[in-house]
Amino acid sequence: MIPESFEYHRPTTLEEAARMAAQFADDGKVLAGGHSLIPMMKLRLASPKHLIDLGRVRGLQYIREADGKIEIGALTTHFQAEYSTLLKEKCPLLPETAREIGDVQVRNKGTIGGNLVHADPAADWPAAALALDAELKTVSTSGERWIPAAEFFIDLLTTSLNPGEILTAIRFPSLPLRSGDTYAKRAHPASGFAVVGVAARVTLDEKGRVEKARLGITGVASKPYRASAVEAALTGKAPSANNLKAAALHAVEGIDLNGDLYASAEYRGHLAKVYTERALALAVGRAIGN
């Protein structure tokens, strides 16, 4: 199939893009890398009357450190995150997540911002954003605001972005001392999307107990979520194999599980517990090394 007809716009400044987004509102869609939106348009699952291409807007593709945090421009590609020396040193969960996305072609063109805004329930970046308590910066004709990742993902393909808002940057905390993180994923063999994906960051105290655990899970429900029950079960305890396994059993507590032809809800629930345990074990091992 081919998309329905639409008007194509290529603003050269963020201000111009914001004006267009405000003008077209629900009739417009912002285009970043296009690997999520264009397929939906071809299937006519999305039919915007106006397409606002950010490709010529400068200043939205960068990775930098400031005040102990990592800020990434929304048009930064998965490939750039995967091979960033800064991220490998300061926030290794991010290049590890990027490496798990799609194939080489997708990683070279797809963007972090586009992935997050699309809010696919099986996308990888949302799990990392939740596990790291990321903040997302949006710009509109009314100004700018920072949205906590915990408030960003509302439901299937739905975020807390208001009409006319454009995601411009994502801010992540650097890896603290005595901390380790990882992304563990079971990918669908055809699409590469997560059947289950678990992003984890674990911080140990001076006595080697779990001071803080943060987990984001994707692929399991209609939206990515923080596994708060796992975090609570592990906080203050020794990171023994038994404790990690016991905590991982809470991975889908209170969650309405997805099921499809490839993986039933029951199977997804099982995988979520298995991959949560694996992610915790890897993160703890790296925390001990740090």
Distance separating the N- and C-terminal Cα atoms of the chain: 52
Q: What is the mean pLDDT of residues 125-149?
A: 98
Is pLDDT at 273 greater than 90 in this prediction?
yes
Q: Domain check: are 49 and 120 in the same one?
A: no
Of 155, 173, 191, the domain-final residue? 173
Confidence of residue 67 (pLDDT cuts 50, 70, 90): confident
Q: Domain check: are 46 and 112 in the same one?
A: no
Residue 58 lies in a domain: no
pLDDT given for residue 2 in this prediction: 87
Q: Domain check: are 98 and 135 in the same one?
A: yes
Residue 30 lies in a domain: yes
Is pLDDT at 43 greater than 80 in this prediction?
yes
Q: Domain check: are 213 and 256 in the same one?
A: yes
Bridge partners, 212 (sequence order):
203
CATH number assigned to the domain comprising residue 106: 3.30.465.10
Q: Domain check: are 99 and 130 in the same one?
A: yes
How far is CA 44 from each of CA 30, 49, 115, 160, 287, rounded to the nearest angstrom?
A: 16, 12, 19, 23, 46
Residue 14 lies in a domain: yes
pLDDT given for residue 68 in this prediction: 84
Q: Domain check: are 36 and 82 in the same one?
A: no
CATH number assigned to the domain comprising residue 21: 3.30.43.10
Q: Domain check: are 165 and 212 in the same one?
A: no
Number of independent structural domains in the chain: 3
Per cent of the chain over pLDDT 70 is 100
Of 141, 173, 205, the domain-final residue? 173
Residue 2 lies in a domain: no
Residue 74 lies in a domain: yes
CATH number assigned to the domain comprising residue 260: 3.30.390.50
Q: Domain check: are 74 and 40 in the same one?
A: no
Q: Domain check: are 227 and 148 in the same one?
A: no
pLDDT given for residue 167 in this prediction: 98
Residue given tokens 């992935």 in the structure block: 115
Residue 190 lies in a domain: yes
DSSP string, 25-87: GGGEEEESS-TTHHHHHHTTS---SEEEE-TT-TT---EEEETTEEEEETT-BHHHHHT-HHH
Of 173, 207, 222, the domain-final residue? 173
Q: Domain check: are 83 and 14 in the same one?
A: no
Give all strands (DSSP E) within the chain, no chain letters. Answer: 7-9, 28-31, 50-53, 63-66, 69-73, 135-140, 143-148, 153-155, 158-159, 166-173, 179-187, 194-204, 210-218, 225-226
Per cent of the chain over pLDDT 90 is 95
Q: Domain check: are 43 and 83 in the same one?
A: no
Residue 1 lies in a domain: no
Residue 234 lies in a domain: yes
Q: Report the DSSP pairing between strands 50-53 and 28-31.
A: parallel
Is pLDDT at 125 greater than 80 in this prediction?
yes
pLDDT in tens, 204-256: 999 999 999 999 999 999 999 999 999 999 999 999 999 999 999 999 999 99
**Dihedral (C-alpha) 236, 242, 246, 247: value to the nearest 10 degrees?**
40
Q: What is the residue range of 99's domain?
A: 63-173
Q: Domain check: are 129 and 226 in the same one?
A: no
Is pLDDT at 27 greater than 90 in this prediction?
yes
